Amino acid sequence: MHRVWRIARCAHVLLLGLLVGPLPTGKAQQQEQPSVMTTSGFLDFYYSKNLAQPASHVNKFRNFDVSDNQFDLALAELVLQKAAAPIGFRIDADFGSANDLVQGGTESTLNYLQQAYVTALLPVGSGLTVDAGKFVTHMGFEVIESKDNWNYSRSLLFAWAIPYYHVGLRATYAIFPALAVTGYLYNGWNNLRDNNNAKTIGASLLATPSERLTVIAGWIGGEERDDSAGPGARHVFDLTLRFRPTETLTLAVNADYGTERLPSDVVTWKGVALYARYHVSEDLGIALRSEIYDDQDGHTTGFPHRMGEVTATLEQQFLTHLLVRAEYRHDWSSEAAFDNRDGVNVLRHQSTFALGTVITF
């Protein structure tokens, strides 16, 4: 199941672009597209050290920053995009260990395209935006690109509660200036072609009651197992609140609840993450995250337990195009889930230090 639970959040950004403009999370580069084709990209490189010194050299239950005591090229991304006027497109070409994890080891030339979709602006009411192709998920607060998150490492909710990407259709409509809705029709979760006869559907609602408050509610549901496994729908509900009490401080909450009916049982997973980001200066920032994730059925992580983590990230921006993040993270589990230097699950916690560097162009 590790490969089946991820994806970033283009639909959220699409809505935010319609309503409130750029935000420091999500696909920020998508929100204001010029009328001509543009290119952009980045290189994401990191080093991580696990104080438990696991024999596997793997930071267990983590997402993307999984390599211990290794230098790793996490992601190299090149973006081509053109604003819909009324037809446009976006292509994100991705390479690196993070993309390998997202694609789950499957072999396809499309694996190097994190996103590839066509956009049409239709003259329906206030304007209907329709996308068709492959794009990241509408669920969650964090995204695949580390530079667009507040912390360098990804949350447990991002790693285990939700998907990475979909292939299908989505349509966004602004009901009011501060309220928009998006509907989704997907093949499934993290697959290019459907593995059964059913389709996955979803919806999200974005509300901006004020310039300082953004609320996004999302849902996704459908049959995700092979036809031979029998019927059993999977549903996930996602809620994100983002509040900016001052010009330098921003707070956020992300909560997920998932359930799936198996032939012999109904399993659930749930969690909540709290975020705070403070800008010390224009180029210097501090971000904190704390979360709890409950996978008592072991359905998503493959290990029945309750997990949690706290993360502190110091961010420095150099010369506009260089972002450096130093991070400390402590993970814990209700069970002996983490490896020691002998390669045995005997630890209930692990602590890591990481240094991430992102160069944009």
Decide: 137 and 166 in contact? Cβ < 8 Å: yes
Q: What is the mean pLDDT of residues 154-178?
A: 97
**Gap between the Cα atoms of 211 and 250, Å rounded:** 12
| Residue 344: band (very low, low, confident or very high) from pLDDT cuts 50, 70, 90 | confident
Q: Name which of 313, 332, 262 is nearest 1 in CA terms.
A: 262
pLDDT for 4-24, tens place per residue?
333 334 434 333 333 333 333
Question: What are 85's two structure tokens?
Answer: 């006027």
Which pLDDT value is given to residue 35? 63
Instruction: Determine the 3-state secondary structure of 110 from DSSP.
Output: helix
| Residue 160: band (very low, low, confident or very high) from pLDDT cuts 50, 70, 90 | very high
| CA angle (136, 24, 76) in 5-degree steps | 50
Contacts with 11 (C-beta within 8 Å, 6 or more apart), sequence order = 135, 137, 138, 170, 172, 182, 184, 204
Q: Which residue has the tokens 């959040």?
A: 9
Which pLDDT value is given to residue 177? 92
Contacts with 166 (C-beta within 8 Å, 6 or more apart), sequence order = 7, 134, 135, 136, 137, 184, 186, 187, 188, 189, 190, 200
Instruction: Determine the 3-state secondary structure of 253 from DSSP.
Output: strand
Which pLDDT value is given to residue 250? 98
Rg (Cα) of the chain, in Å, rounded?
A: 20
Instruction: Give percent of the chain with pLDDT exceeding 70.
Output: 90
Give the containing element (helix H, strand E) for 44: strand 38-50
pLDDT above 90: residue 28? no
pLDDT for 62-74, tens place per residue?
999 999 999 999 9
Q: What is the mean pLDDT of residues 29-33?
A: 41
End-to-end CA distance of the chain: 35
Which pLDDT value is given to residue 248? 97
pLDDT for 214-250, tens place per residue?
999 999 999 988 877 777 899 999 999 999 999 999 9
Q: What is the mean pLDDT of residues 165-182?
A: 96
Rounded to two decimals, the pTM is: 0.88
**Gap between the Cα atoms of 102 and 93, Å rounded:** 13
Backbone angles phi, psi at 143, to 5 degrees: -130, 175
Domains of the chain with bracketed CATH: 2-360 (2.40.160.10)
Which residues does residue 22 pair with via DSSP β-bridges, in sequence order? none
Q: What is the mean pLDDT of residues 305-313?
A: 98
**Gap between the Cα atoms of 155 and 162, Å rounded:** 11
Q: What is the mean pLDDT of residues 312-326?
A: 96
Question: What are 153's two structure tokens?
Answer: 């490492």
Q: 154: which DSSP letter?
A: P
